[in-house]
Chain A
């Protein structure tokens, strides 16, 4: 606080409260109430404090007045000024929402006052603090309307409409800014006519609004939601107006009020169009509308119905529609499906006027509400289309209203079925709606979701009736309906939710999943609750799937899919290449490459076919995953076994002839291995990318695939390069371990796939759920079957390793024995006193093969003087001092431990 000295020693100080932040900043003021000034320091220190308030420039008393009276007047003036300032400050700091509430109340009161006595009613003025936070275009319109010459009900009706549109924009702006609290608060101010639902928008706000990448989408969807509500409100107002014009009691004010609100809400200004993501709307014949309005206002009450009818038609035709032709077709199809599905759900959930399966009953009620919502969205289009559509709309609304009442009253299921049969006829007969799906499948989220839920309901109904196999079959159908279309789309948006849904359908998360309970033959509340959890997760998925996927997200997702799937195969490739090192194995490597390239070609062909001919293969994706997984596990076991025996077997000591003899079978094996490993990953990649490309477009996905492939190539090249630098043994061990890990992961994933398709039951291992990444990366899932499979696979790997070690040890021991025996024999043979009969020693026979002789380090007796040729590439025999055998003793190329020739004479190298 700065203290300023004054020229006047007798100045008065006022103990005023500190005001900060007024008008965006604190303004120090020189108190201009002459002769007010600040006293000396001594007084200031004792009692008062300086005040900082809005800058003012009042100078009511330019000349000093006589002391006594002057002081009083100064004090009074200062008090007045302070009070004014305080009110201003209070006004500026008022909450705009509070101002809105107050303003709405004033509008309602003024309307009623008008109807009681027009002369006593006064138009309330919009508060400045409210206008200051609204979009300037709307603020201006509201202000102008409140002072226009029209009658009060018309002004109020228009203001109501403008406020709704302005609030809609506030919500959108707050969402885009990431201010969810403000968005929610303004959203609560929107009118909610009977029959609409605010649940989905609330979920959308929570799920999408919190993600910076999805805010634009969320804002757009919420704006559209609000416009749909306002369209519903308009139709209610038109209904009310129509009824009142047919009544005996004239209500001209009410008519003007309603029509003013209707015309306002029917017109979407540009800011609202932009927020809703609409380019433009079809032009409205404003002249006809205005002429018809004028005719209605001029008509006497008795002739009003005739004048109102064409106006209503014009106004309904001008309602904003947010649906494209494709969206319209899809929603009509969805509406028909709902109308057909509701009685089935209801019938499955009730019996003789009582609710037997709450979930089914609830689904029937939910689907009815959804159908009414869809009608609201389709209404603007139908009303503008034809009289037949208009009548159909009215009839369908009556039908669904009646269905609502019947469901609430738990009426007989036949009655409900009969009611909705009428609705079905209206849709298929009058409106020509067909269930045949046309066009691309890009916009099928709601339909697939509905089908999925329908199948789940059928599954539950079957289970409740004890038809367990049918229940499982329907559950599987539900999953295979959901998985290829929706899960693939959901993964890039919310991978955790996608995984959770899968868990809920299988083993569950914190509570048992559907399949676990079906396998246990559980029933009643527990089973219903499990299905309920799936439905709730599907609701959240529906919200997520309404948002678009950004190009960058699509690229990242495509690249990560390629990387993830490719990495598994890459490990196997590295392992095999590690085992096929050296020039002598170049042709084997080529065979393997042929297999890999063939798998790449097959993947490309599969991709092309997937876009056209074999779209239905998506439904069998899980089964194909099972089959290829089993093949891959077998292949990996073979490779693992081979790798360990590479480590411990001395297979290199073979003749070229035997090598050549083995090449044919080896070649086909390697081609098959390369193809199997490559195609399994390729097929899974195609499945995932297929749906993604429909969602995000080919360009983004193509770029992502390219990035993924290049990354894989770089990784593979680096790994191979690095691997070649490693000592042979170490490389083999590393690759063997990695292959073992891949085998265990594959096993877990394949068992999971088999559980998904119902080939294997599901029994939870531990309560709760395991983190998503252990499943994705290690194939670890919380079921006995998958974990047990992995333990078995690991046992096989370890067993293979132990067997390989044991066999090598045995072989080494045997070889050692033979070597020692042969040495003794040789020593004996050269010793004239030896009892060894060289003629009967088979090792001494002339036709004893050179290889054998070399293997045991014995000279050929017949060729005792002939140098013994030891192959350069032979793995030297190890002579051990003791029986124990360890990896240290495994000889590598550059670490020969033993001189192959026990007979030194004539040995040539």
Chain B
């Protein structure tokens, strides 16, 4: 469980070391003792640093890929001529993406998406949908516009989920150019379009740098933290719905890199960490409530681990998925109502912007 990890300083050291030596993608280490709102900010910045490093790695791999393709004329020609190099570059692109998103951004999404001053980055990088899919004014359209060479990507969804992931994993034909059999891959790999991956890599470098800059300027308050936990906890139920759909294979090319369960774990971990920054203040007013919320988050994380373990063991039938989804939703709904109660106790209004 995430809670049994080393101390915060070691966390930072671990992240830095991993980033420096390009360790394989793995979830970040959550600090055992958050030490208040400043601790939340420190964690946020530490993970963002990893993300920024990953974007640079993505860019480096994209540049090398572009050079190789340019040397051979087309992507398929390059893959035929130098399959191992192309395979390595594809792996590097995917690894960089996972460090940037699945094991990076997803572990701070709870904070970024919940804090009013940083929310816009969540729409841009993760949760925003394509303009074509928006059906009501309330839908959050990702404001991503990428131009590189002959390619223009205009409001076609968030950077991580709608653009980079389908490109590096070849699940959206619009962003790929041919396919090839590559060593180390069981199935033929759809090769990324050069202009697309180059443009997206540039955008990723810029986007995460902006997020990092605004995060450094962020002064966390009780309200920010409550807003984060209050806004993000109900998303567990929403994610479970998406997880259910993904099990049916109707994910539109998304959610294939890592099981969506991993994303849920990341989000809930960062939300739980944010709650821990508030726990002491709430405990001073209502110890039973503070304990109940803390226990609720622990149960949610454990529950996600449990689902993951079960999923790994054997495929889950629809009734089991439905039951698990309901249990998760019940836990998340309860925490949501309780965090609003806790916020009211501390005089924080979670309904304000």
Do A194 and B336 have beta carbons less than 8 Å apart? yes
Binds A, one of B96-104, B255-263, B314-322: B314-322
Q: In the bound complex, what is the Cα–Cα distance between A249 and B317 (angstroms)?
A: 10
The interface residues of chain B lying within 8 Å CB-to-CB of A369 are 351
Select one of B286, B323, B334, B336 contacting A191, CB under 8 A.
Answer: B334
Q: Is B35 an interface residue (CB 8 A)?
A: no
Do A251 and B319 have beta carbons less than 8 Å apart? yes
Q: In the bound complex, what is the Cα–Cα distance between A405 and B135 (angstroms)?
A: 13
Select one of B341, B344, B352 contacting A358, CB under 8 A.
Answer: B352
The interface residues of chain A lying within 8 Å CB-to-CB of B299 are 105
Q: Is A410 an interface residue (CB 8 A)?
A: yes
Closest-CB distance, A548 to chain B (whole angstroms): 25
For chain A, the count of residues having a C-beta within 8 Å of the partner chain is 46
Do B137 and A365 have beta carbons less than 8 Å apart? no
Q: In the bound complex, what is the Cα–Cα distance between A845 and B30 (angstroms)?
A: 117
Closest-CB distance, A453 to chain B (whole angstroms): 14
Q: Is B3 an interface residue (CB 8 A)?
A: no
Q: Is A381 an interface residue (CB 8 A)?
A: no
Q: Is A188 an interface residue (CB 8 A)?
A: yes
Closest-CB distance, B327 to chain A (whole angstroms): 5
Do A181 and B288 have beta carbons less than 8 Å apart? yes
Q: Of residues A101, A197, A199, A415, which shows the largest number of chain B Cβ atoms within 10 Å of its Cβ? A: A199
The interface residues of chain A lying within 8 Å CB-to-CB of B317 are 115-116
Binary contact readout A183-208 vs B (1 if CB under 8 angstroms, 0 otherwise):
01101110111101111001100000
With contacts A191-B334, A251-B318, A409-B137 known, is A202 near B352, CB below 8 A?
no
Closest-CB distance, B177 to chain A (whole angstroms): 37
Q: In the bound complex, what is the Cα–Cα distance between A405 and B329 (angstroms)?
A: 19
Q: In the bound complex, what is the Cα–Cα distance between A115 and B315 (angstroms)?
A: 12
Q: Is A295 an interface residue (CB 8 A)?
A: no
Q: In the bound complex, what is the Cα–Cα distance between A188 and B322 (angstroms)?
A: 25
The interface residues of chain A lying within 8 Å CB-to-CB of B140 are 409
Q: Is A361 an interface residue (CB 8 A)?
A: yes
With contacts A192-B334, A194-B336, A358-B353 known, is A116 near B320, CB below 8 A?
yes
Residue on B nearest A257 in the bound complex, by CB = B323
With contacts A358-B352, A365-B351, A366-B351 known, is A254 near B319, CB below 8 A?
yes
Do B338 and A192 have beta carbons less than 8 Å apart? yes
Q: In the bound complex, what is the Cα–Cα distance between A465 and B345 (angstroms)?
A: 32
Do B322 and A192 have beta carbons less than 8 Å apart? no
Binary contact readout A362-392 vs B (1 if CB under 8 angstroms, 0 otherwise):
1001100100000000000000000000000
Which positions 483-538 of chain A face chain B at CB distance < 8 Å?
A: 536
Q: Is B340 an interface residue (CB 8 A)?
A: yes
Residue on B nearest A107 in the bound complex, by CB = B327
Do A196 and B351 have beta carbons less than 8 Å apart? no
The interface residues of chain A lying within 8 Å CB-to-CB of B344 are 199, 202-203
Do B320 and A202 have beta carbons less than 8 Å apart? no
Residue on B nearest A253 in the bound complex, by CB = B319
Select one of A101, A194, A411 contacting B333, CB under 8 A.
Answer: A194
Q: Is A111 an interface residue (CB 8 A)?
A: yes
Q: In the bound complex, what is the Cα–Cα distance between A112 and B328 (angstroms)?
A: 12
Closest-CB distance, B310 to chain A (whole angstroms): 7
Q: Is A99 an interface residue (CB 8 A)?
A: no
Do B286 and A202 have beta carbons less than 8 Å apart? yes
Which positions 765-822 of chain A face chain B at CB distance < 8 Å?
A: none
Q: In the bound complex, what is the Cα–Cα distance between A199 and B343 (angstroms)?
A: 9
How many chain B residues sit at the interface, stated as a range, is 35 or more
The interface residues of chain A lying within 8 Å CB-to-CB of B136 are 405
Select one of B137, B138, B288 contacting A184, CB under 8 A.
Answer: B288
Select one of B138, B291, B292, B324 contacting A408, CB under 8 A.
Answer: B138
Do A197 and B137 have beta carbons less than 8 Å apart? no
Closest-CB distance, B27 to chain A (whole angstroms): 24
Closest-CB distance, B340 to chain A (whole angstroms): 6
Closest-CB distance, B243 to chain A (whole angstroms): 15
Q: Is B295 an interface residue (CB 8 A)?
A: yes
Select one of B286, B288, B323, B338 contacting A112, CB under 8 A.
Answer: B323
Closest-CB distance, A60 to chain B (whole angstroms): 43
Closest-CB distance, A162 to chain B (whole angstroms): 17
Residue on B nearest A366 in the bound complex, by CB = B351
Q: Is B330 an interface residue (CB 8 A)?
A: yes
Which positions 191-228 of chain A face chain B at CB distance < 8 Å?
A: 191-194, 196-199, 202-203
Residue on B nearest A201 in the bound complex, by CB = B341
Do B330 and A251 have beta carbons less than 8 Å apart? no
Q: In the bound complex, what is the Cα–Cα distance between A115 and B349 (angstroms)?
A: 41
Which positions 155-188 of chain A face chain B at CB distance < 8 Å?
A: 181, 184-185, 187-188
Q: Is A412 an interface residue (CB 8 A)?
A: yes
The interface residues of chain B lying within 8 Å CB-to-CB of A253 are 319
Q: Is B157 an interface residue (CB 8 A)?
A: no
Residue on B nearest A353 in the bound complex, by CB = B137
Q: Is B337 an interface residue (CB 8 A)?
A: yes
With contacts A191-B334, A409-B137 known, is A198 near B323, CB below 8 A?
no
Do B340 and A199 have beta carbons less than 8 Å apart? yes
Do A405 and B138 have beta carbons less than 8 Å apart? yes
The interface residues of chain A lying within 8 Å CB-to-CB of B334 are 191-192
Q: Is A355 an interface residue (CB 8 A)?
A: yes
Q: Is B289 an interface residue (CB 8 A)?
A: yes
Q: Is A108 an interface residue (CB 8 A)?
A: yes
The interface residues of chain B lying within 8 Å CB-to-CB of A193 are 330, 333
Residue on A nearest B341 in the bound complex, by CB = A198
Q: Is A264 an interface residue (CB 8 A)?
A: no
Q: In the bound complex, what is the Cα–Cα distance between A408 and B234 (angstroms)?
A: 14
Q: Is B326 an interface residue (CB 8 A)?
A: yes
Q: In the bound complex, what is the Cα–Cα distance between A112 and B136 (angstroms)?
A: 37
Q: Is A406 an interface residue (CB 8 A)?
A: yes
With contacts A184-B286, A253-B319 known, is A192 near B333, CB below 8 A?
yes
The interface residues of chain B lying within 8 Å CB-to-CB of A249 are 318-319
With contacts A192-B338, A199-B340 known, is A361 near B318, CB below 8 A?
no
Q: In the bound complex, what is the Cα–Cα distance between A406 and B138 (angstroms)?
A: 6
Binary contact readout B294-327 vs A (1 if CB under 8 angstroms, 0 otherwise):
0100010000000000100010111110111011
Closest-CB distance, A168 to chain B (whole angstroms): 15
Do A192 and B345 have beta carbons less than 8 Å apart? no
Q: Of residues B237, B287, B347, B349, which shows the largest number of chain A Cβ atoms within 10 Å of its Cβ? A: B349
The interface residues of chain B lying within 8 Å CB-to-CB of A108 are 327
Closest-CB distance, A379 to chain B (whole angstroms): 18
The interface residues of chain A lying within 8 Å CB-to-CB of B314 are 116
The interface residues of chain A lying within 8 Å CB-to-CB of B286 are 184, 202
Q: In the bound complex, what is the Cα–Cα distance between A202 and B291 (angstroms)?
A: 15
Q: In the bound complex, what is the Cα–Cα distance between A855 and B191 (angstroms)?
A: 129
The interface residues of chain B lying within 8 Å CB-to-CB of A115 are 317, 319-320, 323
Select one of B137, B323, B337 contacting A192, CB under 8 A.
Answer: B337
Do A240 and B318 have beta carbons less than 8 Å apart? no
Q: Is A244 an interface residue (CB 8 A)?
A: yes
Select one of A101, A199, A202, A405 contacting B295, CB under 8 A.
Answer: A101
Do B326 and A240 have beta carbons less than 8 Å apart? yes
Closest-CB distance, A398 to chain B (whole angstroms): 13
The interface residues of chain A lying within 8 Å CB-to-CB of B138 are 405-406, 408-409, 411
The interface residues of chain B lying within 8 Å CB-to-CB of A105 are 299
Q: In the bound complex, what is the Cα–Cα distance between A115 and B324 (angstroms)?
A: 10
With contacts A193-B333, A198-B337, A199-B344 known, is A116 near B310, CB below 8 A?
yes
Given A188-B288, A188-B338, A362-B349; 16 other pairs, CB 8 A cutoff: A115-B319, A115-B320, A116-B317, A181-B287, A184-B286, A184-B289, A188-B289, A191-B330, A194-B237, A194-B333, A196-B337, A197-B341, A198-B337, A358-B352, A405-B138, A536-B347
What are 18 contact pairs spanning A and B, CB under 8 A? A108-B327, A112-B310, A115-B317, A116-B310, A187-B288, A188-B288, A194-B336, A194-B337, A196-B337, A197-B337, A199-B344, A202-B289, A202-B345, A251-B318, A355-B352, A362-B351, A369-B351, A411-B137
The 6 closest A-B pairs by CB, nearest first: A188-B292, A365-B351, A192-B337, A185-B288, A409-B138, A115-B320
Binding site for A on B (CB under 8 A): 136-138, 140, 234, 237, 286-289, 291-292, 295, 299, 310, 314, 316-320, 322-324, 326-327, 329-330, 333-334, 336-338, 340-341, 344-345, 347, 349, 351-353
